[in-house]
Structure 1
Amino acid sequence: MQHRPPRLASSRRPVYLPLFKIGALSVCIGSFACSVQAEESKLATVVVQGSDNAEQAEAKATLAKVAGNTALIDNAKVEQGRDANAEDVLALQPGIFAQATSGTTANKVSIRGSGLGVFYGGNSLGIKYLYDGLPVTGVAGTHEDQLNLVGVDHTEVLYGGNAFTYTATALGGAINFVSKTGYTDPGTTLKFEAGSYGYRKREISTGGVVGAVDYHLTAVSDERDGFQDDTPNHHRYYVGNVGYYFNDKLDTRFFIRFGQGSLYNGGTLTRRQLKDDSRQGGAVSKRSATGTTVIGNKTTYTLDDGSTLEFGLQHNRYPLEVSYNTTTPSLWRYSDINSSVRYLRKGDTLFGKPSDTTVAVSDVRLVKGSARYYSGEANNRTYTEKARYDNSRDMVFAIGNELEVADNVWLVSGVSFVNIVRDVSFPYRISVDASHDRESVSYNKWFTAPRLGFRYQFNPELQLFGNVTRSIDGPAVWNYEGGNVGTRYVMPRAAQQGTTAELGLRGQHGIFDGSLAVYRSWIKDEILSTVIEPATSTTAEVIGWSNASPTIHQGIEAGLNARLWQGNHGDVLSLRQALTLSRYYYRHDADFGGNKLPGLPETVYQAELQYQQHSGFYIGLNLRSTSSYYADYANTLKAPAYTLLGMKLGYEAPSKRWSVYLDLRNLTDKKYVTAVSNSYDLKGADAAVFYPGDGFSAYGGVSYHF
């Protein structure tokens, strides 16, 4: 998404646009409301008041041209309730599983079963995350503290292979967070939130335009005492960007994001413990982000024919301390350099047909990466191993085309060439496991990921789409490690490969708008994990990673919004619904046959019924319901199904100066499981593998804009 001063973009400044003259009638450019006046001899000028949502409207129009499932989330709508984590932002989106435990940054996010075996511990897998089109996902995955979503205007979700334009080849696709700028959020805003379990959040932001320069800065401080015993967390985030508009052909923007804090992640419980007292802490593990830093730039140049060149360069540094309150702590250090070039050419002809072409290259290189492992008590620890990951990288070259082969029919084609390089070694080990005496592995392989799809616009209200794509997920550098503290070694791993077929509809008619997508993925070498040794009161759980036998991911993603009633003054009663039906399973595994894969529910239904009054008052009821699902690959123990009820109410002043909200969650104080720690074979016995969700909670917030 380009952050340019609005020619047809979002600004609160007036925009002056000339009118085309057709005979004696002048017609305004764009879709904004304007005066149309007769004129005989000259072009006129009209004042167009920029829309606050113009940039989002442009992004939505772009996503509607993707031959597959996409979504756009207005973060201002999210801010009508608690806005603390990825679960809050990604709620009510079909096909997305987003749950949080222990506070603001312990999120498990999955699209179409991506990153199925990921545990809470610092990095998320299976989805490419970007801020303003620049990736924060590296060869170690995505640092969970990068998912704080501070200073975000709107969020783009591109499911699976539909994230082609961002050179994303992950099974889950891509999520792009688009920042607020001086054009989209001018002025200064003070915001305070507080609520159950000691939750407190303070935020100040300011933005504006000074000549050719615009800027936006945000500072956030948040704390939470924790739902489970002994699980406090606190974080500080500082986010900003500055843009410079040279002229209609050239603009540039610099970004910076900095975060630090610590989180005590609540331990897993048995089903019996969950029922008896879900607030007990279990084996609590401490995680600290000691200075996550992102510094980047994106420059856009528009050529004479209207085509654009985008250049991106970004440095990500994300150190992490893991399990520092246990006898097996570790220190992770990562430093990435990410570069990208994207060429967007529009308005060509190919075989006499209208054609648009995209060429993109992205390179994510880990210039410095290591993990240090220790054992023993805090005052008497032994340095046991060091893993090194320097110069591991992911490089993608992609070329795609959209060809209008007939009226309202577009053929979408493309291919990505993916180079995955992994260099993992143990330059230091205090002892060696003789049966696994492997100190290093070097993996360098090229893959081809083609894409073929179509769009058919039945009429202005209904679109049919379909595609077949390839996905390539490289193993995270730490996926190569095996063994226990003191005897770690390197194990070979292969990239996960998949082929996905998708067919769907999206459209709107009358009071309804929505989408429906059906997909099936055939996956080879899926990267899965399991608990080798469960956690104790003094040690963290030991997790093993491996490439699985062939698996299937398939599902239905359905979203439907309805405007049930609208009053004469603009009052609206609306209903949002999101249904996800999915099934993930082995294809003839030697040990588990056709067993279902653990870790995610097969059915998730979310709904929100909201009344919005024209004066600014709103009230809504919401529901989230999930089916039970397995916690082990042998399919012997399940997480229980649950249904949660919630309510939001608030008021936003017509002047937009101030607002207030109350967000009530889990009204029935239901004891439920947010996520599980996948295990190999629990033999049907109750085990401590369940992360408990929050009980009844109430959150309130107030903001003032000036």
Structure 2
Amino acid sequence: MACLGGTAQAAEEGSDARLATVVVEGGKASEVEKARVELEKVAGAARVVDNQEVERGRAQNAEDVLALQPGVFAQATSGTGANKISIRGSGLNTFYQGYVMGIKFLYDGLPITGPGGTQEDLLNMAAVDRTEVLYGANAFSHTALSLGGAINFITHTGRTSPGAYARLDFGPFGYRKQQLSYGGVSGDTDYYISVLHNERDGYQDDTPNKGRDFIANFGHTFNPKLDTRLTIRYREEKLLNGSTLTKAQIKDDPTHNRLLSDRRKDGTTLIGSKTTYRFDDDSRLEIGLGVNDYPLLNGWRYAATAQDWRSTDVNTVLRYLRTDDRLFGLPSDTTLTFSDTRLVRGDVKGYRRSDWQKVRYTDYSGSRDTVFALGNELHLDDQYTLSTGLSLINIDRTARIKYSNTANTSTFPDNVSYNEWHVAPRLGLSYQLNPSVQLFGNVSRSIDPPVTWQHGSTANAYLRPLDPQKGTTVEFGVRGSAGIFDGSLSVYRSWISDELLTVIITPATQTTDAVTANANASDTIHQGIEAGLDTRLWESARGDQVILRQAYTFNDFFYRDDDAFGSNELPSLPRHYYQAELQYRHPAGFYAGVNLRTASSYYVDYANTLKAPSYTLWGAKVGYDDPGERWSVYLDARNLTDEHYVTAANTAYDLRGVDSPNFYVGDGFGVYAGISYRFH
């Protein structure tokens, strides 16, 4: 939760409030605390997740890391890195086993989201120190123009995770995870290396998955003006997905798997570097370079059409920052950013698995997103700060069907190519009501380009022309602390045109692949409320605490007088989503608590005839952290009542109220355990 000052941070971290204030003011704040202070300068919703807190329980995927973040919906399917993740209804239903739309994902400030989308295997977030969530245009500093904003994962360094570290996690459904890491500092160089292995047999029948990671982070300071950092991430992954079921099937036997589908990543490789040169105390230049290679073998064992995807992105980020300037006689901070994400190689080949004959070859190479952004923070006085920004985005999309064994008899082309410029301004104002409370508001423009494969891949002999999704968002909010309370509240409304929506026309069967379609919708509205509140219910003189954390999200998404659907609700996300955790913490390191997650029902078709059922899940957690920071242990019980529930759903056109196999199964009851040890 974003907060103001050490006292508010103490409420969240569970430490002594006065001590935390001294630490922050003394300049010895942790990297997480420094990130919170920086994000408090944003005139809009932004939050930081301390992954050390997450690792006090199961830390399996984005569902765990992004829990208790208002406005964020993150639910896992099949217990893998495949998560449905949406912020403010971004990428509302462009989802199949984990591809995420409408959010820009980054590692250490370099994007893993490119013209070809976001590969889900890197969303396991191994060896991450903290996660920064910037809602909507509040991600301006990362040149993220998506409706949902950006999520930036910051990798551990030798300074944030020193010494040798070993961790073992295990749990139900054959869940096992092992990690070894080593970090340190030698003179002007710090280094961190981590290896990780994970596997799971699966909750549904025949849904095993396994993967392994290698992560390395090296930093070096050449002199007071120049430093650099290199990060390497490598992941292999192999899995069988759990199939969607009908509501009746989930109620009767949620472990049933009606359809086997497989996916294999033979080596996703992300290499990135960031170099900073400081001209003086008030100005610096940051240069980021990255290569992201992500092969995918999809449906190689079971699908009617096997797919071989090959994708390589090259990323460039240049950022010039200048602080303590004067503009109109007032203190001013200015940032100029250039970012370019280029799909230097991207294609997919489809093979008929019955005889391994090639059926289609589609090439996306050359597609790119280029953004120029100029931002300014003008400090009007000690209380008011005016934030202005202007982004120019150049969208270049190229999709060509180079081979097809069937003729294109449709009215759609087999070649889509366009180059467009769009302007995205931003205007925000923050008001420091008092040292602990800040009010903010902003208005912004969002641009979501279609992902390359949304135009088409291997299913059809044609491609669908698509326009970028555009939106205008107004947001107002407050964040801060008062006494035992620490929280934030944001209210927003987005007017969207050409929203990119997906529909499942025909679900997959044993002999045929799923048939989907992507299209630009008529005008839509996304509006909602994001509220987070931490309350220190009790604190003893010796430091015992009872803390209640709560996060509530209200989603209200609907058409604006659509010709076919009128003012129908947009399907795919619960209207009400609430999470809470009540935890006791002992100053010696012991903690115990209960947690709750509840979601209302929601439509799964545009005609609003069939709903996914609501659910309420209870959990409990107990653990111990050695005050000497050497070892820790936890037990994390999930779904205590063994609820049969729907974690996510595909989206259909008009189901006429008939139950259909469009629902993903949530895990049943299980107790996870973990132990870690750090060798100093």
TM range (shorter): over 0.9
Does the CA contact (< 8 Å) of 2:263 and 2:296 recur in 1? yes
Q: Could you give the per-residue CA deviations for residues 417-439 of structure 1, whole angstroms, max 9, x where no partner exists?
A: 00000010011111113224622
Map of 2:178 onto structure 1 = 202
Q: Which runs of 5+ in 2 are unaligned?
A: 1-20
- Matches of 1:507 and 1:231, distance apart in 2: 44
1:367-406 CA-partner distances (Å, limit 9, x unpaired): 00001112233xx222100000011000000001111123
The answer as to 2:380 corresponding to 1:400 is: no
What corresponds to 1:554 in structure 2?
A: 527
Which shows bigger deviation, 302-311 or 435-444? 435-444
Partner of 2:313: 336
The separation in 1 between residues aligned to 2:96 and 2:180, in whole angstroms, is 29
1:305-357 CA distance string (max 9 Å, x none): 42121100000001111122221221111100000101111001111111111
Instruction: Indicate the residue corresponding to 2:112 in structure 1.
Output: 136
Give yes or no for the alignment of 1:655 onto 2:613: no
Aligned-partner residue type, residue 402 of structure 2: P
Residue 530 in structure 1 maps to residue 503 in structure 2: yes
Measure, in 2, the Cα distance between the counterparts of 1:58 and 1:459.
Answer: 20
1:85 & 1:640 partners in 2: Cα distance? 23
Find the counterpart in structure 2 of residue 502 from structure 1. Answer: 475
Match of 2:148 in 1: 172
Cα distance, 1:31 vs structure 2: 5.8
Q: Secondary structure at the match of 2:642?
A: coil
- Aligned letter for 1:149? M
* Alignment check: 8 A CA contact 1:664 1:697 kept: yes
Match of 1:302 in 2: 278
> Out of 428, 447, 470, which is 1:472 matched to?
447
Residue 599 in structure 1 maps to residue 572 in structure 2: yes
CA distance in 2, matches of 1:533, 1:104: 24
Number of matched pairs: 658
Structure 1: distance between partners of 2:374 and 2:410:
46
Return 5+ residue gaps in structure 1 as ranges. Answer: 1-29, 35-47
Contact 1:189 1:206 (8 Å CA) reproduced? yes
Matching of residue 270 in structure 1 with residue 243 in structure 2: no
Partners of 1:364 and 1:217 lie apart in 2 by: 27
SS at the partner of 1:189?
strand
Which letter does structure 1 place at the counterpart of 2:452?
V
Q: Which residue of 2 aligns with 1:120?
A: 96
Q: Which moved more, 1:123-132 or 1:461-470?
A: 123-132
Shift of 1:160: 0.3
Does the CA-based 8 Å contact 1:122-1:320 persist in structure 2? no
1:93-126 per-residue CA deviation (whole Å, 9 max, x = no partner) reads: 0000000011221111000000111222453211
Q: Which amino acid is 1:631 matched to?
A: V
1:41 is matched with which residue?
none
Q: What are the Cα deviations for residues 170-218 of structure 1, in whole angstroms up to 9, with x where unaligned?
A: 1100001111111111111100000000000000111000111100111
Q: Distance in 2 between matches of 1:443 and 1:684?
A: 40
The one-letter amino acid of 1:491's match is R
Once the two structures are TM-superposed, the CA of residue 568 in structure 1 deviates from its matched residue by 1.6
Q: Which residue of 2 aligns with 1:461?
A: 436
SS at match of 1:303: strand
CA distance in 2, matches of 1:121, 1:390: 24
Indicate conservation of the 8 Å contact 1:535/1:541, yes or no.
yes
- The equivalent residue for 1:390 is 365
Aligned-partner SS, 1:489: coil
Mapping 1:341-420, distance limit 5 Å: 341-377=318-354, 380-420=355-395
TM-score (norm 2): 0.95
Q: How far, CA to CA, are the matches of 2:362 and 2:175 in structure 1?
A: 37
Q: Which amino acid aligns with 2:416?
A: V
**Deviation digits for residues 471-518 of structure 1 (CA, Å, limit 9, x no counterpart):** 000000001117x73x42112110000000000000101111100000
Q: Is the 8 A contact 1:121 1:322 kept in 2?
A: no
The answer to whether the 8 Å contact 1:123/1:140 transfers is: no
Aligned to 2:31: 55
Judge conservation of contact 1:285–1:540 (CA < 8 Å) in 2. Answer: no
Q: Does 1:284 pair with 2:257?
A: no
Structure 2 residue 391 is matched with structure 1 residue 431: no
1:619 maps to 592
In the alignment, the residues of structure 2 paired with residue 32 and residue 115 of structure 1 have an alpha-carbon distance, to the nearest angstrom, of: 40
Aligned partner of 1:677 in structure 2 is 650
Q: Hey, what's the Cα distance between the residues in 1 that align with 2:77 and 2:23? A: 44
Q: Is 2:299 the partner of 1:326?
A: no
Question: 2:545 maps to what in 1?
Answer: 572
The 8 Å contact of residues 121 and 287 in structure 1, kept in 2 or not, is answered as no
Contact 1:609–1:620 (8 Å) recurs in 2: yes
Structure 2 Cα separation of the partners of residues 552 and 660 of structure 1: 46
Per-residue deviation at 1:654?
A: 1.6
Counterpart secondary structure, 1:56 = helix
The alpha-carbon distance between structure 1 residues 382 and 436, as it changes in their structure 2 partners (threshold 3 A), is: farther
Larger radius of gyration: 1
Q: CA deviation at 1:240?
A: 0.9
Distance 1:592 1:152 in 2: 43
Q: Distance in 2 between matches of 1:91 and 1:121?
A: 19
Q: Indicate conservation of the 8 Å contact 1:631/1:678, yes or no.
A: yes
Query: Is the 8 Å Cα contact of residues 83 and 98 (structure 2) preserved in structure 1?
Result: no
Q: 1:682 to 1:606 in 2, by over 3 A?
A: same
Kindly indicate whether residue 419 of structure 2 is the aligned counterpart of residue 444 of structure 1.
yes
- Runs of 4+ aligned structure 1 residues displaced above 6 Å come to none
Letter aligned with residue 156 of structure 1: E
Report if the CA contact (8 A) 1:294-1:316 is conserved: yes
Instruction: Identify the residue that residue 23 of structure 1 maps to in structure 2.
Output: none
Q: Could you tell me how far apart the structure 1 residues matched to 2:275 and 2:633 are? A: 38
Q: 1:317 corresponds to which residue?
A: 293
CA distance in 2, matches of 1:651, 1:219: 24
Say which of 634, 638, 641 aligns to 1:665: 638
Quick one: which amino acid aligns to residue 597 of structure 1?
L
Most deviating of 380-389 and 53-62 = 53-62
Cα distance in 2 for partners of 1:374, 1:683 equals: 34
Q: Distance in 2 between matches of 1:122 and 1:567?
A: 44
Q: Distance in 1 between matches of 2:412 and 2:378?
A: 54
Deviation track 1:1-47 (CA, whole Å, cap 9, x = no partner) reads xxxxxxxxxxxxxxxxxxxxxxxxxxxxx96489xxxxxxxxxxxxx
Give the aligned partner of residue 704 of structure 1.
Answer: 677
Q: Aligned with 1:274: secondary structure? A: helix
Alpha-carbon distance between aligned partners in 2 of 1:642 and 1:143, rounded to the nearest angstrom: 29
* Secondary structure at 2:305 match in 1: coil
Q: What is the CA distance between 1:282 and its match in structure 2?
A: 2.0
Percent of aligned pairs with the same residue?
Answer: 54
Q: In the alignment, residue 338 of structure 1 is paired with which amino acid?
A: N
